[in-house]
Amino acid sequence: MKLYGFFRSSAAYRVRIALNLKGLPYETVPVHLSKDGGQHRRAEYRAVNPQMRVPTLALESGDHLIQSLAIVEYLDETHPQPPLLPKDPVARAKVRGIAQIIACDIHPLNNSGPLAYLKNTLKHDQSEIDAWYAHWLTEGLTAIEAMVTPAPYLCGAQPTLADICLVPALFGGRRFKVPLDKFPRILAAEAACLKLPAFDKARPENQPDSE
């Protein structure tokens, strides 16, 4: 498999964690989101991913999968051990709910595309953009903090899709200097995750395209 991604991309970070948890080897194909006007905008990458975003997972079959949650669930379905979603339908829905707070509510507002639009088109200064980022991240994390009791992970004794989404979100928050100390349960779950080699190996600074 080949993973097209960018070392700082939260979505690509999620897929790296999932691949590592499953023990699946993959080749990294860097797609820099700012160099050369954005390498994701090149015609050759558009042929791989019509949305021109990262990540893309290229399978040995020749198929290309896009959107991080879809990719992670594909990996869980095709390589079921260790499971990333609980078997119980209620527990599974709770894990998906936390994951979607991050991937569907926080991330779309704080992704590089919207932030660039705020800066370049709407002409907001960096302090306003930072405040925007902090607002939406804090709103989402406040909800998650009320939903979890680390045991030691967000949803129990094993890392799940929720943890896979959480750790990259906190990485982004620290990049933008968002205060996180009001979320002790979340931080405890993150600390448990980062003790695992699968999460540590996936860190942005440990990627071959890290700057």
CATH T-level topology, domain 89-198: Glutathione S-transferase Yfyf (Class Pi); Chain A, domain 2 (1.20.1050)
For CA atoms 156, 159, 162, 165, the dihedral sign is: positive
Report the pLDDT value the prediction gives residue 101, as an integer from 0 to 100: 98
> What digits encode the pLDDT tens for the residues 99-123?
999 999 999 999 988 999 999 999 9
- The pairing of strands 56-58 and 64-66 is antiparallel
Give the domain ranges of the chain: 2-82, 89-198
Q: Give 2-82's CATH code, choosing from 3.40.30.10, 3.40.50.450, 3.30.43.10, 1.10.150.130.
A: 3.40.30.10
Give the list of residues 6+ apart from residue 203 with CB closer than 8 angstroms, or none: 171
For CA atoms 111, 130, 169, 24, the dihedral sign is: positive
Report the alpha-carbon distance of residue 93 to residue 207 in Å, rounded.
Answer: 32
CA triplet 13, 16, 19: central angle to 5 degrees? 155
Q: How far is CA 163 from CA 60, 90, 112, in A?
A: 28, 17, 22
Report the alpha-carbon distance of residue 55 to residue 48 in Å, rounded.
Answer: 10
Give Cα 163 distance to the centre of its chain.
Answer: 10
Tokens of 110: 């704080």
Per-residue pLDDT of the chain (211 residues; tens, 9 = 90+): 999 999 999 999 999 999 999 999 999 999 998 888 889 999 999 999 999 999 999 999 999 999 999 999 999 999 999 999 999 999 999 999 999 999 999 999 999 889 999 999 999 999 999 999 999 999 999 999 999 988 999 999 999 999 999 999 999 999 999 999 999 999 999 999 999 999 999 999 999 998 6
Q: Do domains 2-82 and 89-198 have the same CATH topology?
A: no
pTM of the model: 0.95
Closest residue by Cα to residue 193 from 16, 69, 4, 29: 16
Report the pLDDT value the prediction gives residue 43, as an integer from 0 to 100: 93
